Structure 1
Amino acid sequence: MLGVAVRKIERAEPGIIAALRDAGVASVHEAQGRTGSMGAELGALVPGAIMGGSAVTALCAPGDNWMLHVAIELMQPGDVLVVATTSPSDDGYFGDVLAEYVRCRGGAGVVLDTGVRDVAVLRAERFPVWSRRVSAQGTIKQTLGAVNVPVICCGQRVVPGDVVLGDDDGVVVVARRRAAAVLADVQARIAKEEAMRAGLREGGHTLDLLGLREGLLQKGLRYVDGPVSWDAEGDL
């Protein structure tokens, strides 16, 4: 669906977004069944940056960032700009001027399935951006794409209004309609991990705390008291 820009989208509750953001990308990814993670090649430009917000999507032609200008105009405070292309492109779609525009609109950050440039400025300003590449190659503004339509960004389907989270571990997408349920699962997982840490501090072992020991024994793992002698094939 090209040549359309949707002005109004539904967004998740700000409190849910903030709690998911604070939980971290890895915990959210695990809690929702190891789904929603964008590709490992997607990197944070600024180490330590944390981002969470509702997706405003821009679908662009290769080498053309016209739709970013349309999308940023429609952003609301706390939104995340998610940029995808109709064909692969590593060009530098986003730089310091557009970062200033996003900041003025109150945006929480940007995710690009493309390249980014003006890296020194973006890092100095600690602007939260995740991209596939760094590229000085500029773009034109000639071809209509679409704004606020479902897109595939770095291997993940993103629907406008979905929750997009970013940190040093990468970027994960949470469907807007499942955000509250995913948060409940995340909180349960965090509570379980805190209990495990307490068990470790008390002298426990992960094999027991995670219930993994019995499975090892069933698979045939043997504990052997040393010292032992090895044959030429490396067997006992």
Structure 2
Amino acid sequence: MDKIGIRVLSSAEQRCDTTTLEAFRQVGVAQVSDCMGRLYGSVGLRPIHGPGVRMSGIALTVKTRPGDNLMIHRAIDLAQPGDVIVVDGGGCTANALVGELMMKQAQRRGVVGFVIDGAVRDAEAFGPAGFACFARDISHRGPFKDGPGEINVPVSVGGLVVQPGDVILGDADGLTAIPQAYAVEVLRLAEAKEQAEAKGMERIAAGTYEKPWQAPALARLQKDYA
């Protein structure tokens, strides 16, 4: 299907390798965000799955009419192991777009998480299943299955623009997306930042932590308001 509004496009041919994805799972989203200028992240989407679940995978994107999950079902059928199904549902929270049955179907295909700019239901099922789910809200009201919708197109979830094939990361702090071409470089920077923060923790414990940026910032502030 290639008519605007009902397009189902091919997934990205190049995919981030599993070794890099697993390495990202060990790095905090906050540290990754810092290494991308603190510009890339969603707002208003929260983890539904509870504590202890980190998400790292490849974006399979869906754009759907609010309250309708026809194309999400189709995306699950097309999903590859390691995918994260990223759904632009327009932020509407009146009707849940996914629930436990869809989660189980997706998990069976190797999908590692949902990102839903809309509502979900069966919220208590995600944590015990170890399946990452980030959403705007929870609603017991079920979805419609009429369409229209599109698959593997650019989407926006909580203000975060996601392209098909992007690396999607999620933890207790939230979500970010990394363009595939930058994944290896961002991983290197984020790992270095985590190592630097670990050393900072050691200095705090030893009472030797310093903030060399503080005095210049205060001096500039004083000058600006003089």
Asked if 2 retains the 8 angstrom alpha-carbon contact of 1:162 and 1:175, the reply is yes
Indicate how the Cα distance of structure 1 residues 213 and 94 shifts in structure 2: closer, same or farther if over 3 A, else same.
same
Partner residue, 2:166: 162
Q: State how far apart, in whole Å, the 2-side matches of 1:105 and 1:128 are.
A: 14
Q: Is 1:153 paired with 2:157?
A: yes
Q: Which entry has the higher C-alpha Rg, 1 or 2? A: 1
Greater Cα shift, 147-156 or 187-196: 187-196
Q: State how far apart, in whole Å, the 1-side matches of 2:185 and 2:207 are.
A: 34
- Tell me which of 42, 63, 83 is aligned to 2:45: 42
Asked if 2 retains the 8 angstrom alpha-carbon contact of 1:7 and 1:74, the reply is no
Partner residue, 2:105: 101
Percent identity (aligned): 31
Q: State how far apart, in whole Å, the 1-side matches of 2:188 and 2:126 are.
A: 34
Q: State how far apart, in whole Å, the 1-side matches of 2:130 and 2:84 are.
A: 15
For residues 91-147 of structure 1, the C-alpha deviation after alignment (integer angstroms, 9 at most, x for no partner) is 200001100111110011110001000123334434211100100111111122111
- Alpha-carbon RMSD across the aligned residues, in angstroms, is 1.9
Q: Is 1:73 paired with 2:77?
A: yes
Partner residue, 1:3: 6
- Tell me which of 85, 88, 92 is aligned to 1:89: 92
Partner residue, 1:19: 23
Partner residue, 1:233: none
Q: TM-score, normalised by structure 2?
A: 0.89
* Matched residue SS, 1:4: coil
- Tell me which of 112, 135, 138 is aligned to 2:116: 112
Partner residue, 1:216: 218
Q: State how far apart, in whole Å, the 1-side matches of 2:6 and 2:220 are.
A: 59
Partner residue, 2:37: 33
Indicate how the Cα distance of structure 1 residues 187 and 88 shifts in structure 2: closer, same or farther if over 3 A, else same.
closer
Asked if 1 retains the 8 angstrom alpha-carbon contact of 2:70 and 2:144, the reply is yes
Unaligned 5+ segments in structure 2 are none
Letter in 1 for 2:7: V
Asked if 2 retains the 8 angstrom alpha-carbon contact of 1:32 and 1:185, the reply is no
* Matched residue SS, 2:116: strand
Greater Cα shift, 116-125 or 27-36: 116-125
Unaligned 5+ segments in structure 1 are 221-236
